[in-house]
């Protein structure tokens, strides 16, 4: 049942969709230079553990202003490496946000430690430092803030707390490559910062990840951890003419290939242009949504520059006759590839079963989850794609928004 009439029938009701083809919520951007860089490596001697790994790590560290960068085969592997290097082990606790992809909390479990969730701030949906302080125990060893959607978490109070209590801060910046916090680049602030290079991210290597740090001891442990716990790499041995190596700790094969690193290096050259385009799209979206009833654009703190991995729109559900799912389906029918980020981690079956969560534990994150819809956001979106999204949101929400109670009172 529609409350307000609209001239355009919704596609979900058999009307004409806003666009003919599906616009995805995220998509990689690959150009001829990227392809050439990969082909060059395929013709070289080193497909993995070769010179492109060092080159990519050095260029990446310089970009984010960190002393060291250590490449991993995925963001998840990078998180595992960081949790190991922080010394997390059985009996320890690490505090993180429920408003993230499960990998952030899972890396704590990989180490046999316990992830403890703290609720998020209502505006940014980032870890609330006061909630972190409230969850501290004598077992807490680490805090893992996440820069949700590319908006940096409020790092200073978390770092201060960590300093006072001797905790390690592992920032999950999988969404925030290129973001700034108080004028400083993300990647240079926490004890370790983790990035992901999945294709929907700002820079892709297919699969891939990175940990940046200023601490030589962490960098050294991370390098061993990703290479079976072996103290030297194949190329070092080849160069020194020695066959000897020693496995000094238990590690994994979490190496990133030279093929992937060459792609990453090439993509890094376009990162600034990618960020500029994402910021333009976000500005256009937010200007349009501020004029629309019953939707809320993401808020941006005064002292940050977000990287806009995602654009999470919030619905004022009290103003709608329908649920988020109906609006989600209607937007998909208009060929707008919306998504939802995130189902709060503690509500996944694994976490419910393992820790007894049943919902209601983290009201801010859970309340936000019910209202969130991620709109398409990627570098390759053209201006008319952006306008299609705005048009579709206007069309769908106008069909289902209840009359403004203040306006109804005036009419009566």
Ligand X SMILES: Cc1ncc(COP(=O)(O)O)c(C=O)c1O
Note the residues at the interface with ligand X (CB under 6 A).
Answer: 74-76, 100-101, 103-104, 146, 172, 174-175, 196, 198, 209
Element holding 372 (H helix, E strand): strand 372-375
Would residue 224 show up in a list of annotated catalytic residues for this protein? no
Nearer to ligand X, 175 or 202 (CB): 175
The residue number with the shortest CB distance to ligand X is: 75
Instruction: For residue 362, give both structure tokens.
Output: 């983290």
Query: What's the distance, Cα to Cα, between the start and end of the chain in Å?
Result: 23
Q: For residue 40, give the nearest of 263, 284, 207, 357 by alpha carbon.
A: 263
Decide whether 74 or 124 has the Cβ nearer to ligand X: 74
Q: Which two tokens stand for residue 134?
A: 């409230």
In angstroms, what is the minimal distance from the CB of 67 to ligand X? Answer: 23
In angstroms, the CA 90 to CA 99 distance is 24
| CB of 78 vs ligand X, minimal distance in Å | 7
Radius of gyration of the chain (CA): 23
- Is 159 within 8 Å of 185 (Cβ atoms)? no
Smallest gap from residue 73 Cβ to ligand X (A): 9
CB 76 → ligand X: shortest distance, Å?
Answer: 3
Task: Output 140 or 174, the one with its CB closest to ligand X.
Answer: 174
- 3-class secondary structure, 202: coil
CB closer to ligand X out of 107 and 262: 107
Catalytic residue among 52, 182, 201, 224: 201
Nearest approach, Cβ of residue 34 and ligand X (Å): 18
3-state secondary structure of 375: strand
Residue indicated by tokens 């419910």: 352
Buried b (16+ CB within 10 A) or exposed e, 338-377: bbbbbbbbbbbeebeeeeebeeebbebbbebbebbbbbbb
DSSP string covering 63-132, please?
HHT-SEEEEESSHHHHHHHHHHHTT--TT-EEEE-SSS-THHHHHHHHTT-EEEE-PBPTTT-SB-HHHH
212: helix, strand or coil = strand
Task: Name every residue whose Cβ is closer than 8 Å to that of residue 273 and which is 6 or more positions away in sequence.
Answer: 379
Residue 57 or 172 with smaller CB distance to ligand X? 172
| CB nearer ligand X, residue 60 or residue 101 | 101
What totals of helices (H) and strands (E) does the chain contain, helices first?
15, 13
Q: Compute the least distance from the CB of residue 130 to ligand X, in Å.
A: 22
Nearer to ligand X, 200 or 292 (CB): 200
Q: How far is the CB of 64 from ligand X (least distance, A)?
A: 16
Tokens (6 digits) for 393: 């949101």
Paired strand residues for 374:
312, 339
List, by residue number, the catalytic residues: 201
């Amino acid at each position: 049942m529609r409350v307000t009439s609209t001239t355009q029938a919704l596609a979900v009701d058999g009307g004409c969709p806003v666009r003919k083809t599906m616009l995805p919520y995220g998509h990689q951007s690959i150009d001829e230079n990227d392809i050439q860089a990969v082909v060059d490596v395929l013709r070289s001697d080193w497909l993995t553990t070769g010179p492109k790994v060092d080159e990519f790590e050095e260029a990446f560290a310089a970009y984010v202003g960190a002393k060291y960068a250590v490449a991993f085969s995925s963001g998840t592997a990078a998180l595992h490496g960081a949790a190991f290097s922080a010394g997390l082990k059985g009996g320890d606790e690490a505090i993180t946000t429920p408003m993230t992809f499960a990998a952030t909390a899972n890396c704590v479990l990989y180490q046999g430690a316990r992830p403890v969730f703290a609720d998020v701030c209502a505006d940014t949906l980032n870890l609330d430092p006061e909630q972190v302080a409230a969850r501290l125990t004598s077992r807490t060893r680490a805090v893992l803030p996440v820069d949700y959607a590319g908006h940096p978490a409020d790092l200073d109070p978390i770092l201060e707390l960590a300093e006072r209590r001797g905790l390690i801060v592992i920032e999950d910046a999988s969404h925030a490559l290129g973001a700034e916090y108080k004028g400083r680049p993300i990647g240079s602030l926490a004890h370790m910062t983790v990035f992901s290079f999945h294709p929907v991210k700002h820079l892709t290597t297919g699969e891939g990840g990175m940990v940046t740090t200023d601490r030589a001891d962490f960098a050294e442990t991370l390098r061993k951890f990703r290479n079976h716990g072996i103290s030297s790499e194949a190329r070092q041995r080849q160069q020194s003419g020695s066959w000897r190596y020693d496995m000094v700790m238990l590690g994994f094969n979490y190496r990133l290939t030279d093929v992937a690193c060459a792609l990453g290096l090439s993509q890094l050259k376009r990162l600034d242009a990618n960020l500029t385009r994402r910021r333009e799209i976000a500005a256009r979206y937010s200007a349009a949504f501020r004029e629309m009833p019953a939707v809320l654009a993401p808020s941006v703190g005064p002292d940050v520059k977000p990287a806009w991995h995602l654009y999470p729109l919030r619905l004022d559900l009290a103003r709608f006759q329908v649920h988020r799912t109906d609006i989600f389906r209607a937007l998909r029918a208009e060929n707008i590839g919306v998504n939802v980020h995130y189902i709060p981690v503690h509500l996944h079956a694994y976490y419910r079963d393992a820790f007894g969560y049943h919902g209601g534990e983290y009201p801010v994150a859970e309340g936000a989850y019910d209202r969130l819809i991620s709109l398409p956001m990627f570098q390759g979106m053209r201006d008319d794609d952006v306008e299609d999204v705005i048009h579709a949101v206007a069309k769908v929400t106008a069909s289902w928004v209840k009359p403004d109670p203040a306006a109804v009172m005036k009419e009566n």
